[in-house]
Amino acid sequence: SQQGEEDPQALSIQEGENATMNCSYKTSINNLQWYRQNSGRGLVHLILIRSNEREKHSGRLRVTLDTSKKSSSLLITASRAADTASYFCATALYNNNDMRFGAGTRLTVKP
Amino acid sequence: DTAVSQTPKYLVTQMGNDKSIKCEQNLGHDTMYWYKQDSKKFLKIMFSYNNKELIINETVPNRFSPKSPDKAHLNLHINSLELGDSAVYFCASSQGGTNQPQHFGDGTRLSIL
């Protein structure tokens, strides 16, 4: 069954604006990961945040995790047309063997 | 160098046929996975292999069987293909299971006629 659910399903913004995507999940997790998928390509790992962490940064990306609300957010600052892609959150359970993906947010950044 | 490579990229075949998809990773990872992505972009884990042992099998029909000849390869065999098997299949690998990031191949688009 699906674990993560991304919100919104689709997001369209202008270049230079910030994009925020949210992810909610249902069960306790070991870590949560965000991935990007360009059309016709495989998923590319962006950030991994562990259950005892609250915030992580990587370049223009900022991820937060609220385990009490079972939610995470991905913020992309100063977006670029090249950021156009689908973004997925994935939750890793404590058994170390299972990864559950949401349906993704389709981000379009207009030049 | 391609880290996770899978072949073929496209596979068009008829119902009832048997087909295989190959996956190789050159990252030295100890865990490999197969995922199925449907037309709505839902990504569902099918198999996970760690050191040549199957760890999970996510309610996948037994027509699907993973085969790992060595730590760097995890092939997917599908028997008696059905229309519902049409999807994009992704291979991935990681070091130390899902505690670490996964590296994905570019997918195999399987179309059943």
Which residues of chain A lie closer than 8 angstroms to B44, CB-CB? Answer: 2, 101
Whether the per-residue pLDDT at A2 is higher than 60: the answer is no
Q: In sequence order, what are the residues at sequence separation of 6 or more whose Cβ sits closer than 8 angstroms to the Cβ of residue A16?
A: A78, A79
Confidence of residue B55 (pLDDT cuts 50, 70, 90): confident
The reply to whether A98 touches chain B by the CB within 8 Å rule is yes
Residue of chain A nearest B101, judged by CA positions: A45
Confidence of residue A88 (pLDDT cuts 50, 70, 90): very high
pLDDT the model gives residue A6: 82
The reply to whether A61 touches chain B by the CB within 8 Å rule is no
Q: In sequence order, what are the residues at sequence separation of 6 or more whose Cβ sits closer than 8 angstroms to the Cβ of residue B31?
A: B48, B49, B50, B55, B93, B94, B95, B96, B97, B98
Interface test with A, best of B34, B41, B59, B98 (most A CBs within 10 A): B98
CA distance A9 to chain B (A): 11
The residue-averaged pLDDT of B35-56 equals: 87
Whether the per-residue pLDDT at A100 is higher than 70: the answer is yes
The residue-averaged pLDDT of A80-109 equals: 91
Confidence of residue A3 (pLDDT cuts 50, 70, 90): low
- Nearest by CB: A96 against B35, B99, B105: B99
Q: Do B4 and A42 touch (CB under 8 A)?
A: yes
Which residues of chain A lie closer than 8 angstroms to B104, CB-CB? Answer: 35, 42-44
Whether the per-residue pLDDT at A1 is higher than 80: the answer is no
Burial category of A24 from C-beta neighbours within 10 Å (exposed 0-12, middle 13-18, buried 19 and up): middle
CA distances from B5 to A99, B49, B100 (A): 20, 16, 19
Name the pairing type of β-strands A31-37 and B10-13: unpaired
Size of interface A-B (CB pairs under 8 A): 67
The residue-averaged pLDDT of B68-79 equals: 94
Whether the per-residue pLDDT at A68 is higher than 60: the answer is yes
Contact present, A105 and A9 (Cβ < 8 Å) = yes
pLDDT the model gives residue B77: 96
